[in-house]
Structure 1
Amino acid sequence: MPLYKTLTPNSETTVKIWKITESYNELMAPITLKPQNKARVLGMKSELHQRGFLSVRHLLAEFGYTDNDLFYDENGKPHLKDGKHISITHSFTFSGVVVSNDVVGIDIEKQREKIGVIAHKFMDYEFEYLNKTAPQYINKLTVIWCIKESLYKLFATPGLSFLQHTLVIPFTMDDTSTVSWIDYNGRKCRYQAEFIEFEGFTCAYVTP
């Protein structure tokens, strides 16, 4: 299907989400890839990953970019040649791209019970306001994970720990936004975090 959602959290930032229903061939046909990226796609063992990768190129086209406009630095962070900031995500049948005039991060995750098993690995402070028996416990864990993953992508600094260096201020699922922090090597940075849910998935994105 074409574009699934477009969100504009502020005047300088746009988020676009794609629902991946097309086949590999349908996604590949209309786009042109750099030789190294074509080789990368052909080398992927999972068609789901191939379709995720290609759907991101369709999202780039929605912004007016091509595969040639995108490059990655030594830390694996994506950049655009025109100097705008970009962050990319894909999970199963959804992919997302956010483009902004400022640093930005995005993540999409499928909501799954098993996140409860690893919660202690990515959060500490947040346990103070979470109720494990509440109906929306898994939803909240997924929001926190998505926000922290978005912070990690935005900061793109080796050594940053979800557990030790990031935190998410209390929120309810009705809020659709909260505040998050990175506290790393003496630097304290505050970020606005927005989140939405759709079809069993959670998407969060962060901006200064």
Structure 2
Amino acid sequence: MRRAALLLLIASPSFADTIATDTPTLTAPPTEWLGPEPHLVIMGKVNGRELNIQLTDMASAPFVAEFAGKREYLPGEAGAFRYGDFEVALKAEIGGVERSLELEFENDDFGKAALPSDFALVPENFPKGFASFLEFSSEWEDASGSVNDEIGGFNGTLSLQLDEGAPDDKGLRPDGMIGGLVMAEKEGEIVVVSFTVPVAEYEIDD
């Protein structure tokens, strides 16, 4: 019911002053994950800005400079590691401006969940169980000035559908793919994101 309510609120958004990619193919936010091929779709509103970013075919998007994921591992018990964070990062020219967008998801240990799984978005960092903290970051500079936002504290759901990669000699995964669907709300603003991102690296947080 929560997912249906969020979608109803943005089923017919006004795209005035929208940050948008050219030639969008979707007329409404996705209601399901768009699948395992690399893509990023962001539709809705964050921090007063309408977003209509539709990158459904990364191979035909030459204006994308970087689209990459990263896992972050945290110290665990007995020398083990906890999979506490992953990031989805985009650098691209959108509307004639070089922009950086990043979604970062936290959990006490994503590695404990069998996929697919739904995680409730909560305002606490590194929550335990089926919960996740989302931070949405934006950075660019245009004629109106500079943007450097880091927005957290969303409600909603992360439906994590895909998280694969080959472990290294530490048992950590520096590659593979992560994919899912996000329906998030903060202070009456709603945003829906479908993503599948190739992982380029991992980081160990001491």
TM-score, normalising length: structure 1? 0.27
Which of the pair is proportionally richer in strand?
A: 2
Which of the pair is proportionally richer in helix?
A: 1
The answer to which structure, 1 or 2, has the higher relative contact order (CA under 8 A, 6+ apart) is: 2
